[in-house]
Structure 1
Amino acid sequence: MPMQSTMYDKLLLLPLFQGLCKEDFTSILEKVRLHFQKYTAGSRIVKQGDYCNNIIFILQGEIRAESVDHTYHYTIHETLESPQIIEPYSLFGMYPQYTASYYAHTNVNAITIDKAYILSELNKYEIFQLNYLNMLSNRAQTVYRKLKSPHASDTLDKIVNFMQLRCITPTGEKKLQIRMEDLAEQIDDTRINVSKVLNELKDGGVIRLSRRIIDIPDMETLSNYKENKKTLFMENPFLQPYTTPHGTVPFDKIELVHYEPAIREGISQEDKEINDIISNPEKPTFKNTILALEQSGKLLDQVTTVMFNLMSAETCNELDEIAEKMMPLLSEHSNNISLNEKLFERVKQVYEERKNLKLTPEELRLLEKTYDGFVRNGANLSEEDKVTFRKISTELSSLTLRFSQNHLKETNSYELLLDSEEQLKGLPESIIEAAAHTAKEKGKNGWIITLQAPSYVPFMKYSENRELRRKLYMAYNTQCIHDNEQNNEDVVKQLVNLRMQLAQLLGFKNYADYALRKRMAENSERVYQLLDQLLEAYTPTAREEVKEIEALAQRTEGKDFQLMPWDFSYYAEKLKNEKFNLDEEALRPYFELSRVKEGVFGLATRLYGVSFKENKDIPVYHPDVQAYEVYDKDGSYLAVLYTDFHPRAGKRSGAWMTSYKEQWIEANGTNSRPHVSVTMNFTKPTPNKPALLTFSEVNTFLHEFGHALHGIFANTRFKSMSGTNVYWDFVELPSQIMENFAIEKDFLNTFARHYQTNESIPEELLQRIIDASNFNVAYACLRQISFGLLDMAWYTRDKAFDGDVREYEREAWKRTQLLPPVKETCMTVQFGHIMSGGYSAGYYSYKWAEVLDADAFSVFKEKGIFNQDVAQSFRDNILSKGGTEHPMTLYKRFRGQEPTIHALLKRNGIK
C-alpha cells in the first residue's frame, strides 16, 4: 500500500524510525499488518500492569499517563503529546508489562503493531535495530544516572529527583497525588522543609497546590528552577555584595522583581541561622546564642528595610502589592522565631545564668532585651495561645499596611481645582505659583490645591474664600471615612481590638499597659498624670487665645460670627500679623532651602565639628534625593545622610527620619557606620522661584535632622540598641531639642538671607520671630494633648470596641476642644501615628520629650547655645548611646538631675 506523506513525516519524528527512508517504510508496510485505531477523549488505551504485546504509536492528539504506587501511596499523572510511542522499552524483557495506565486526553489517532511483527520483520532492518537498541540504552543510562546521582543536598533537589526518576518523560505537564508526610518520607526529609519548598515553588508560579495534589505545568521549568534561581540571584542586587560607596543601597539597580525572591532567600538564610543556634550541641552562652541571634537575618533586614522605607517615600501599586503579599510570610517568619521553644530555652538558660557570666553592661542590656522580647512576643504562652498569638500578629501586620495604603491613596487622589482668579484672593504669590505648577504637571488649566501639607496649610492660613476653606478642611478631615474602598473605620476597630486581645493574651489589662512597660512612663497612670498636669496648666491660656482670635474675626465679620475650625488658621494668622507685624509669607524669601540646609548642617559643624560632603556617586531612589558623606571632626568617616525634601505622587505626607543601615561593631572590631535619611514635604521650587520654606518648615527640618544626628552619632556594639532604637518616649528628645535653635538669633543669622538680594534677615524681623514664638502656644499644646488623650482612650480599653468611631473620638476629646465640633470629621481613621506608625499608646511621647528637651536645652542656654563642651556631653551621653542604658540614667548623666515641667512652662510663658 502507498505510504502517506503525513504519516511518514510523523513516524519519522519518533527515534525508533529515524534514518529509515520512504522506500524502507513502503517495504515494511507490505509485510507488516498495521492496526489503525481511534480513541475518544477519556477512554483507556492500556492499563498499568497489562502485558505489552503491541507497540502503540500515537500519531495525533494527547495522551495521559497515570502511574500508581500502592506501596508508597502516590500517583503521577503525565500529559504526553503526539507523536509518541507508548513504552517501547517494555516490549521485551523479564517483565514486559506497562508501568502506567494510558488514557486519551483528547481524541487520539494511533497505529498498533503486533510484537510478533517486530520480531519477525522489523528486525531485518539494521537501522531499526540500532534505533531500538539506542532507545533501550538511553533509557537504562537515564535510570542509572538518576539512581547513582550524588545524594541531593537540599529539599528542592530531592523533590526534583523524585519526579525525574518516576516520570516517563522529562518534560511536559505532571500531576503528583501524594500526602505531604509520604513525600517527606520518600525523599528522606522533614514535612516542614517539604512544605516550605512547595510553597516557594507555588509562589514562584512553578507549581500549583491543592489538597494532596501537586500540579506541575511544565516539568522542565521545575527541573531548571534551581539553575534559573541561581541566575536570578546573580542578577538580583540584594543578593550580591554592594559595590557602591560605603556599601550604600544600589537603588539604581533594584527593580520590583527583585524584592520577593530576596525576601524569600532572606527568610531561608535566617531560618538556617536560627537552626544552627538551636542545633548547637554546646551549652548555651552569650556568644553562641544571644550574639548569634543578634547577628542573624542580615539579608532579610536589608531587603525589608528598603521595601518599607520606599513604601513611604517612593511607592507604587506594584510595590504595595508585593508588600501585601509578603506581610503574612514575614509575620509568620517573625512568629516562628519568637515562638521557637528550643531557641527560647537556650535564651532562657543564658538569662538565668546572667549573674555568673561577667557580662559587660551593654551585653547584659542586650541579654535582658532579648529575653524580654521573647516573653513579650508570646514565648511563655501555651501551645493553644501561641496559635492565637500568631493569628493576631499576622492580622495586625496586614491591617497596619492596609491602613497606611488607604490613607496614602485618599491623600493623593484629592485635588481642589480653582478656575478663577477670584478664588485665589489672599493667597501668597508663592502658593499661587505652586498651585499653577501642580495643575500644569497634571495637564489641567487653573490652579490645584492638594491635601499635602505645603499646599493645604498655607491655603487654610491665607485664603479669603471661607467656603473653599471649609471645603478643603472637610476634604482633609474626612479622609478614610467615606463610603469607599479606602474607608478605615473597620480597620481601626480591628486594630484596636486585636491589640487589646494580644495584650490580654500576655497577661496585661489593656494594650497601653503592655506597650508602656518598655517606656520611660512605665504605665498609663503616669501618662495621664503628665497630660492632666499640662491640660490644667495650659487650658486657661488656650481659652484666652481662642477668645482673642474669635474677637478679631467678629470685628471683621460681625458680632454674630462663629469661629469654626476652618476659620482658625486664617484669623490666627491675621492676629499674629496684627500683634507682631509678622507674616510667615514675608519670611519665606529668607529661608531658601539650600541656605537653610547650609545653616542646619553648619549648626552640626559648630556644635559637634562634623562636616557634610555631597557624593553624587551614591545611588538614590529619586532625582530629588541627595546623598552626603558625613565626616567627624578628626576627618574620619561617620555616616551617609540622604535628604528628600519635596512632595510627589507615591510619597506619603509628613516628615520623618529613617535608617537604611544601622550602626554596629563587627566581629573584627570594625565600626560599621550608619546610612540615615531625612524625608520631608517642603514646598517645591517652581520654574521662577527656588524652594522657599516657611518658618514652620525650618522647625521641621531641625526636628528631623535631630533624629538624623541620633543615628549618625550612634556608637554601640549591637545594632538592635543603636541610634534611635531607644524607648519610644525618649526618641523625640534629640529631635525636639534641635527645634530650640529656630528662635535663636545667633543661629538664624548664620544662614537667613534674602534669596534675591542676599541681605541678612533684619534684626527687628528676627526679634519679631522670637516674640511670636509663643503665639498660640497653649492652643497648640492642647491640640497635642488631645491627640495623646485620643491615643490613650483607644488603648486603655479592656473590652472590644464595636461602636461609632467618630462618637468615641468626640468623647475622648471633650476636655480639650475649644472650637465647635464638626460631626462629619474623624481623625482616628487617618491617625497613622497611633494606628500604623509605631506610636500606639505612645503619642504622649511628644509632650514627654518636650519636657525633656526644654529642661535639657536650658543647659545650652546657661553655657552658650554653641558651647561645644555641652554639645559633646549631649553627644556622649545621649546621641551615641542609643538604647544601651535606661534613658533616665543617660539623661541624668547629661543634665545632673531628673527633668521637671518648669522649664517647659517657663519657655512657653505659662505661669
Structure 2
Amino acid sequence: MQTTSQITDMDPNLKLVDFSQVSPEQLKSQVQQAIKAGHAFLDDLDNETDSPKQAQQALADIIEFDHIGLGLDRSWGILSHLNSVMSNEAIREVHHEILPLLSAFGTRVGQNKPLYNRYQTIKNDREFFNGLEAARKRAIDLAIQSFELSGVALEADKQSEYADIQSQLSTLSAKFSDNILDATQAYALPLTTEQLSGITESGLAMLKAAAEQYVAKQQEAGESVEDKPEYVATLDIPVYLAVMTHAEDRELRKTLYKAYVTRASEFDNHKNSKDEPLDNSQVMSDILALRAQKSKLLGFDNYAQVSLSRKMADSAEQVEGFLRDLANKATPAAKRDLEQLKEEASAQGIESIEPWDTAYLAEKVKQAKFNLSQEEIRPYFPLPKVIDGLFTIVNKLFGVRAVEQSDKVALWHDEVRFYELFDKDDSLIGGFYFDLYARTGKRGGAWMSGFQARYEYAGSSSEAYNQLPVCFMVGNFTPPTADKPSLLTHNEVLTLFHEFGHGLHHLLTEVSISDVAGVNGVEWDAVELPSQFLENWAWDSKGIELISAHVDTGEPLPKEQLEALLAAKNFQSGMQTLRQIEFALFDLLIHAKSPAPDYQGILATLDKVREDVAVMQTPEYNRFANGFSHIFAGGYAAGYYSYKWAELLSADAFSRFEEEGLFNADTGQAFRDNILAVGGSLPAKTNFENFRGREASIDALLRHGGFIDNNEVA
C-alpha cells in the first residue's frame, strides 16, 4: 500500500517516503481517497444482515478494516509531520482543511455499531478469544474501550453532538498550535552592542544568524531595512536560553522573559497572515468547555475521569495525592535551591530575585560551586560524537546497531538524517530519521513521532503486506556553523537520549498488530518510561566517556569537569521538580473542575497551584498556560503528570542496572524483552513487574532526585 514513491536500493518493507515527490495537494488527495475507502467498507458493514458474525469472520473483518486504514494513517501521518517541521501556508491550509474530514471519519468509526459488534462477538466467544495471541486480545480490549469512549452506546442525536464536539476540538487544537508557533516566530528584538555583555561566543553566533534571518524576512516582505542589526534576539529556545542564561543586562532578560511568557495571550499584539490576533485565551476556554461537554455525554463527571480511564493511575485523587506528596518531599530541597540563588543575587547586587534572574543566577552558582559552565563543556559534546556514543551505548545494552543511509533516501530538509537499525543477527529492525536543528517553520520542543508501526497482513483481499517500524525523532538544537558541528549543552544531550528512548520503544517492538505495537496502546502515564530511563546513561561517567570529545582536539571531557558535571546532577532539582508538579497539578485540576473553567478560572487555578507548591512568586502577567501545547494541542490533557509518574518507573527500572551493572547485556536484554519488545500488548504495570520482579517503588526516584540520602530509606 503505497502513498508515495518507494525509495530504491532500500528494503521494501521499510516503505520509505520519497519526500522529494510529496506535495500538500498530493497528500490531501491521498487522505481523501483513504477516507473514502474507509467509508465504503463501513457502508458495506452497515448493509450486513447476518449479524451477529461468528468470531472467526468477525476477526477477519476487523483485520481487513485495519488494513484499509493503513493508507489513512500513512498519508495523514506525513502531512501532520510536515506541518510540524516545515510549516508554511500551503501545508497549513491543507492540514486544516483535512481536519474536519478526519474528525468526522474517526467519529463514525468510533460510533459504528456493526464494527463494534464484531469486537463484542469475539470477546463474548470465550473459547475463541482465549485462544488468540496476547497482543490481539489486548488490541480487542482496548478497541472496545475506545468505542465506548467514542459514544458508540449514545442515542443518534447525542452521537451527532459528540461528532460536532470532536470536529471543533480538532480545529481548536490546531489553532492553538498555530498561534503559539506564529507568536514565537513573530518576535524579534534587535540588540545593541551594550546588551551583548556576558553572552557566550556560541550565543552571539546564534544572535547573529537570527539577525540575518530577520533582515531577509523584512526584505521578503518588501520592507526596507535601513539600519541592519548585527544581533537579534528571538523566542526560539536556543536563542532565548542563550540570553536568559548569560546576558548581564537584567532589563534585557526581563524584556525577553515577558515576551516569552505572554506569547499568544491578550498581551501579545502580533497577528497572523489573516490579520487575526494570536490570542489563545478564548481557544483554551472553548477547548475545556468542549471536553467537559464530551465527558458529560459519555457519563463522566469531568474530563480528568475520561483521560484517566485509559491510564495506569486509578483516579484524579490518586494522581493529585501522588503529586502533592512528591511536592512535600521536594520542597525542602527547593528552598535550599532558592537560598543558593539568593546568596548569588546578593553578591550581584540584586535585592529581589525575579523569574528572569533564575537561569542567569543558577549558571553563576554552578560555575562558583562546581566550577562548571554549560558553555565551557559544550565543545566536548559535538553532536556527531554524541550520536556515535549514543549508538554505542544502545548497542552494548540491547545488541542493536544503527547505520546511516541518508544518501540513499529523499529527505524533507537537507539537515535531516536517516538511519537503519539492525539486530544482533544483522536482520533489519526498522528505520529512523533525525531532524535535530531549530529553524523557521518548525514548532518548538522535541518529540518522537511513531509514524509507521510494525505491521503484518496476510488477508484475502490483497497480497501479503509487511511493514517495518519507522519513526521521526525531532529536536531544536543549535544548528551547525560553517566550520563547526552543532555543539550541545548537557541538557540537550539529555533531550537527545530521551527522544531516542521513545524511538527504541517504537522500533524494538516484536508485536505486529499495529494498535499495540511499539508505543501504541501503552498507557500514557507509562509511555515516558523508556525515554526517561535512557537518560541515565548520559549521567554515568562511562556513558559520558563515550559521548564526549572536544570538537577541535578530540580530547575527552577533563576529569575535573566530568566530576563537576556529575556532582551538579541534582543542582536545582528541587525547584525543577516543583515546576513540573506545578504544571501537572494545574493540568489535572482544570480538567477535573465542573463546570469547566473560563479563561479567568484557568488563570485562577494556576495561581492557586503556584500558591500551594511554588517557592518563588510569578509575575501577574505570566501567561504560561497560553503556550502549554502539551495539554491544549497535544495528547497530555489531564495527563501531564505522566512525566513524574513514569519517572518513578524509570528510576526504579534503572536501579536494577545499578545493582547488576550499567552495561550488563543480560539486564539490557531483560529490559528489551519485557518493556520494549512487548509495547502495548500487555498492561504497563504487568510489563514493569515482569522486568523488575516486584511492584514499583518510589525510593529510587527520591534518591536520584537528591531528596533523600543514598543510605536513607523512604
Regarding TM over 0.5, the answer is yes
- What is the count of residue pairs matched by the alignment? 673
Which residue in 1 is equivalent to 2:453? 662
Give the stretch that moved more between structures: 831-840 or 751-760: 751-760
Which residue in 2 is equivalent to 1:438? 210
Judge conservation of contact 2:327–2:578 (CA < 8 Å) in 1.
Answer: yes
Judge conservation of contact 2:34–2:68 (CA < 8 Å) in 1.
Answer: no
CA RMSD in angstroms, aligned pairs only: 1.8
Q: 2:656 aligns with which of 847, 853, 859?
A: 859
Correspondence 1:727 to 2:553: no
| Counterpart code for 1:451 | L
Which residue in 1 is equivalent to 2:490? 695
| Counterpart code for 1:272 | A
Identity %: 34
Judge conservation of contact 1:277–1:292 (CA < 8 Å) in 2.
Answer: no
Correspondence 1:676 to 2:471: yes
Which residue in 2 is equivalent to 1:708? 503
Which residue in 1 is equivalent to 2:64? 292
Which residue in 1 is equivalent to 2:145? 372
Which residue in 1 is equivalent to 2:369? 579
Correspondence 1:305 to 2:66: no
Q: Provide the rounded CA distance (Å) in 1 between the counterparts of 2:547 and 2:589.
A: 44
Judge conservation of contact 1:274–1:296 (CA < 8 Å) in 2.
Answer: no
What are the ranges of 5 or more consecutive residues in structure 1 without an aligned counterpart?
1-235
Judge conservation of contact 2:45–2:115 (CA < 8 Å) in 1.
Answer: yes
Deviation at 1:243, TM superposition (A): 5.6
Alpha-carbon spacing, 1:425–1:672, altered in 2? closer, same or farther (3 Å): same
Correspondence 1:415 to 2:188: yes
Q: Provide the rounded CA distance (Å) in 1 between the counterparts of 2:280 and 2:240.
A: 22
Judge conservation of contact 2:59–2:119 (CA < 8 Å) in 1.
Answer: no
Judge conservation of contact 2:584–2:641 (CA < 8 Å) in 1.
Answer: yes
| Counterpart code for 1:633 | K
Higher helix share: 2
Q: 2:341 aligns with which of 541, 549, 553?
A: 549
1:412-464 per-residue CA deviation (whole Å, 9 max, x = no partner) reads 111221132x1111111111012112212333431122211111112111100
Which residue in 1 is equivalent to 2:19? 251
1:716-765 per-residue CA deviation (whole Å, 9 max, x = no partner) reads 13001111111100100000001111111111112311111111111221
Q: TM-score, normalised by structure 2?
A: 0.92
Correspondence 1:885 to 2:682: yes
Judge conservation of contact 1:480–1:829 (CA < 8 Å) in 2.
Answer: yes
Judge conservation of contact 1:809–1:826 (CA < 8 Å) in 2.
Answer: no
Q: SS in structure 2 opposite 1:645?
A: strand
Q: SS in structure 1 opposite 2:497?
A: helix
Give the stretch that moved more between structures: 326-335 or 693-702: 326-335
Q: Provide the rounded CA distance (Å) in 2 between the counterparts of 1:802 and 1:434.
A: 39
Judge conservation of contact 1:244–1:250 (CA < 8 Å) in 2.
Answer: no
Judge conservation of contact 2:304–2:588 (CA < 8 Å) in 1.
Answer: yes
Deviation at 1:315, TM superposition (A): 1.2
Q: 1:393 aligns with which of 159, 166, 171?
A: 166
Q: Provide the rounded CA distance (Å) in 1 between the counterparts of 2:2 and 2:680.
A: 32
Correspondence 1:604 to 2:359: no
Deviation at 1:548, TM superposition (A): 1.9
Judge conservation of contact 1:284–1:347 (CA < 8 Å) in 2.
Answer: no
| Counterpart code for 1:592 | P
Q: SS in structure 2 opposite 1:660?
A: strand
Judge conservation of contact 2:2–2:71 (CA < 8 Å) in 1.
Answer: no
1:7-30 per-residue CA deviation (whole Å, 9 max, x = no partner) reads xxxxxxxxxxxxxxxxxxxxxxxx
Alpha-carbon spacing, 1:880–1:871, altered in 2? closer, same or farther (3 Å): same
Judge conservation of contact 1:237–1:253 (CA < 8 Å) in 2.
Answer: no
Q: Which has the higher contact order (CA 8 A, sep 6+)?
A: 2
1:523-573 per-residue CA deviation (whole Å, 9 max, x = no partner) reads 111111210110110011101211221122012206xx1000001111111
Judge conservation of contact 2:45–2:114 (CA < 8 Å) in 1.
Answer: no
Q: Provide the rounded CA distance (Å) in 1 between the counterparts of 2:469 and 2:88.
A: 27
Deviation at 1:353, TM superposition (A): 2.4
Deviation at 1:670, TM superposition (A): 7.0
Q: SS in structure 1 opposite 2:21?
A: coil
Q: TM-score, normalised by structure 1?
A: 0.72
Q: 1:751 aligns with which of 547, 550, 553?
A: 547
Q: 2:38 aligns with which of 270, 279, 295?
A: 270
| Counterpart code for 1:566 | W
Q: SS in structure 2 opposite 1:750?
A: helix
| Counterpart code for 1:375 | E
Q: Provide the rounded CA distance (Å) in 2 between the counterparts of 1:760 and 1:623.
A: 30
Judge conservation of contact 1:289–1:347 (CA < 8 Å) in 2.
Answer: no
Q: 1:565 aligns with which of 308, 332, 355?
A: 355
Q: SS in structure 2 opposite 1:297?
A: helix
Correspondence 1:351 to 2:148: no
Which residue in 1 is equivalent to 2:647? 850
Q: Provide the rounded CA distance (Å) in 2 between the counterparts of 1:393 and 1:891.
A: 34
Which residue in 1 is equivalent to 2:626? 829
Judge conservation of contact 1:601–1:612 (CA < 8 Å) in 2.
Answer: yes
| Counterpart code for 1:493 | S
Correspondence 1:448 to 2:232: yes
| Counterpart code for 1:780 | Q
Judge conservation of contact 1:407–1:479 (CA < 8 Å) in 2.
Answer: yes
Deviation at 1:239, TM superposition (A): 6.2
1:344-364 per-residue CA deviation (whole Å, 9 max, x = no partner) reads 233333332245543232222
| Counterpart code for 2:570 | N
1:186-227 per-residue CA deviation (whole Å, 9 max, x = no partner) reads xxxxxxxxxxxxxxxxxxxxxxxxxxxxxxxxxxxxxxxxxx
Give the stretch that moved more between structures: 712-721 or 479-488: 479-488
Give the stretch that moved more between structures: 363-372 or 696-705: 363-372
Q: Provide the rounded CA distance (Å) in 1 between the counterparts of 2:370 and 2:5.
A: 59
Judge conservation of contact 1:294–1:720 (CA < 8 Å) in 2.
Answer: no
Q: 2:440 aligns with which of 622, 628, 649?
A: 649
1:774-830 per-residue CA deviation (whole Å, 9 max, x = no partner) reads 001111000000000110121001113235143332123221222222111111111
Give the stretch that moved more between structures: 853-862 or 546-555: 546-555
Residues 782-797 of structure 1: matches in 2 within 5 Å?
782-797=578-593
Alpha-carbon spacing, 1:241–1:425, altered in 2? closer, same or farther (3 Å): closer
Which residue in 2 is equivalent to 1:462? 246
What are the ranges of 5 or more consecutive residues in structure 2 without an aligned counterpart?
216-227, 272-276, 709-714
Deviation at 1:298, TM superposition (A): 1.5
Q: Provide the rounded CA distance (Å) in 2 between the counterparts of 1:284 and 1:382.
A: 26
Judge conservation of contact 1:331–1:394 (CA < 8 Å) in 2.
Answer: yes
Judge conservation of contact 2:4–2:18 (CA < 8 Å) in 1.
Answer: no
Which residue in 2 is equivalent to 1:260? 28
Deviation at 1:405, TM superposition (A): 0.7
| Counterpart code for 1:641 | F
Q: SS in structure 2 opposite 1:513?
A: helix
Residues 887-906 of structure 1: matches in 2 within 5 Å?
887-906=684-703
Q: Provide the rounded CA distance (Å) in 2 between the counterparts of 1:862 and 1:277.
A: 55
Alpha-carbon spacing, 1:890–1:710, altered in 2? closer, same or farther (3 Å): same
Judge conservation of contact 2:342–2:353 (CA < 8 Å) in 1.
Answer: yes
Higher strand share: 1
Deviation at 1:841, TM superposition (A): 0.4
Deviation at 1:406, TM superposition (A): 0.7
Q: SS in structure 1 opposite 2:546?
A: coil
Residues 179-198 of structure 1: matches in 2 within 5 Å?
none
Q: 1:766 aligns with which of 559, 562, 566?
A: 562
| Counterpart code for 1:883 | G
Which residue in 1 is equivalent to 2:711? none
Which residue in 1 is equivalent to 2:609? 812
Judge conservation of contact 1:479–1:830 (CA < 8 Å) in 2.
Answer: yes
Correspondence 1:636 to 2:404: no
